[in-house]
Amino acid sequence: MNVTVFGSGYVGLVTAACLARMGNYVLCVDIDADRVRRLEQGEVPIREEGLDPIVADALDNGHLRFTTDGAAGVAHGELQFIAVGTPSAEDGSADLSAVMAVARTIGEHMDDYRLVINKSTVPVGTAERVRQEISTRLAERGVTVEFDVASNPEFLKEGVAVEDFMKPDRIIVGCDSERARTLMTELYAPFNRLNDRLIVMDARSAELAKYAANAMLATKISLMNEFANIAERVGADIDHVRQGIGSDPRIGYHFIYPGTGYGGSCFPKDVSALEHISRESGHEPKILRAVQDVNQRQKHRLVERIREHFDGKLAGRTFALWGLAFKPGTDDMREAPSRVIMEALWEAGARVQAHDPAAMPRTQELYGEREDLKLYEHPLSALDGADALVIVTEWHVFRSPDFSEIRSRLAEPVIFDGRNIFEPARVTAEGLSYYSIGRNPVLKT
């Protein structure tokens, strides 16, 4: 099938590459000329496991091309994916300017049937807005062209997005025509062979399903962090609590790990957008507001523990930070807890020595050169002379360290673990004090 994908970010590029891998002819459109140039040379600008070789193969065999020419994109694909960004506006709503710009381009150039597919995460009713925008442009041109609009929300986790696309647990399609349904069924057939993962519904339900899924997962995270804060105050161990509730199949173990709060491009933005949608419809979303409030507070919890340990005297101290990305497997630092923690330490007059396996270039882009931030290629090097180690992202490389080496490099033997990746008894046996989330601090003897 001939497919056009507008947008070459996380969602757009993964969608384009994976569809091309299955033999479709995909043209990916982006307004960023430099990004397109790099992609044409096989340079993938995002870190996503398995994406680089798929893009390289598809470029080599001609199944994937890139362009800045929107008209060429409209001419190419019977299926037109909109996979552009929908960042949060100041009021928390989703900014649809990029989505509507693509719809406008399609309406200005289409001269044959097109199925327009919203892949971006968009508010309920966006499919209708896209349909109206295209119809308006066609009317201005004085032409009549048949088209359909469908919603096909993405459920891709950063770091494993390729695997999620290739082996989906569900494929949601919101449409109201048999032609659109047939085309979407054909497109996704290679990803849907062993079990029928395709769920067809109306567009409004598909749009809400995406927001509801992310809000549900964000709620589990915030609720678990709320439990962790209670556990600290009553002397319980949140890891034992997690095992006790996770063994209940109605709850399960997914997304019930306490930590420094969620970040990234999806949960914060989508919960805020759903809050806005709810209020606009006349309903006050009290749980969604609490989810966001708990998450923002949780990002400061590790700094609170650091302040308590050092009696509030952080000025002039140096802290080693392991982990900058909002989660392992990506270099994405949007809404990352590390940013809140570093900025709080800097405000208190402290310095940061950081390491991350992927996100240090992003950190450099965000903060530039500054005297109170040094980035190290090796995690142990970041420890030298630091007053404490602060663990923010649970990369695998951090899970089995040489604790004696950590102790010898730190000026003061103390670890603040925002992801509970170590057993307290093991750490203290190595002569280090240990603070974690939802568990009592254990001080070295």
Exposure pattern of 71-106 as b/e (b: 16+ CB <10 Å)?
Answer: eebbbbbebbbbbbbbebeeebbbebebbbbbbbbb
What is the tens place of the pLDDT at every residue in 161-171?
999 999 999 99
- The runs of H, that is alpha helices, within 23-160 are 33-40, 51-61, 70-76, 97-109, 126-141
Q: What is the dihedral of CA 363, 156, 191, 43, to 10 degrees?
A: -20
DSSP string, 219-271: HHHHHHHHHHHHHHHHT--HHHHHHHHHTSTTT-STT---SS---SSSHHHHH
Query: End-to-end distance of the chain based on CA atoms, in angstroms?
Result: 67
- The stretch 357-383 carries a mean pLDDT of 96
What is the tens place of the pLDDT at every residue in 22-42?
999 999 999 999 999 999 999
- The stretch 70-78 carries a mean pLDDT of 98
Specify the amino acid at residue 26.
V
- The stretch 287-300 carries a mean pLDDT of 97
- Indicate the pTM of the whole model: 0.91
- Residue 191 · residue 19 · CB < 8 Å: no
Run of H or E residues at 375: strand 373-375
* % residues pLDDT > 70 (the chain): 100
- The stretch 381-410 carries a mean pLDDT of 97
The pLDDT of residue 205 is 97
What is the tens place of the pLDDT at every residue in 97-149?
999 999 999 999 999 999 999 999 999 999 999 999 999 999 999 999 999 99
CA atoms within 13 A on the CB side of 68: 8
Mean pLDDT across the chain? 96
The pLDDT of residue 153 is 96
Q: Determine whether 175 is an active site residue.
A: no
Tell me the sheet residues that pair with 374. 353
- The stretch 50-61 carries a mean pLDDT of 97
The pLDDT of residue 193 is 83
280: which 2 tokens?
Answer: 């606009």
> SS3 for 150?
strand
Q: Distance between CA atoms of 103 and 108, rounded to whole angstroms?
A: 9
What is the tens place of the pLDDT at every residue in 221-260?
999 999 999 999 999 999 999 999 999 999 999 999 999 9
How would residue 445 be classed by pLDDT, with cut points 50, 70 and 90? low
Q: Which of 18, 28, 175, 266 is catalytic?
A: 266
Q: In this model, does residue 444 exceed pLDDT 80?
A: no
Q: Distance between CA atoms of 199 and 88, rounded to whole angstroms?
A: 28
The pLDDT of residue 280 is 92
* % residues pLDDT > 90 (the chain): 95
- Among 89-103, 317-331, 332-346, 366-380, the least confident range: 89-103
> SS3 for 213?
helix
DSSP string, 387-439: SEEEE-S--GGGSS--HHHHHHHSSS-EEEESS--S-HHHHHHTT-EEE-SSS
- Nearest-5° Cα angle at 296, 362 to 49: 35
The pLDDT of residue 404 is 95
The pLDDT of residue 59 is 97
Run of H or E residues at 296: helix 286-298
The dihedral built from the CA positions of residue 197, 199, 203 and 209, taken in this order, carries a sign that is negative
The pLDDT of residue 276 is 93
For tokens 């200005």, what's the residue?
108
Specify the amino acid at residue 122.
V
What is the tens place of the pLDDT at every residue in 255-280?
999 999 999 988 999 999 999 999 99
- The stretch 189-193 carries a mean pLDDT of 91
The pLDDT of residue 242 is 97
- The stretch 178-196 carries a mean pLDDT of 92
The pLDDT of residue 195 is 72
What is the tens place of the pLDDT at every residue in 83-102?
999 988 888 888 999 999 99
- Residue 264 · residue 158 · CB < 8 Å: yes
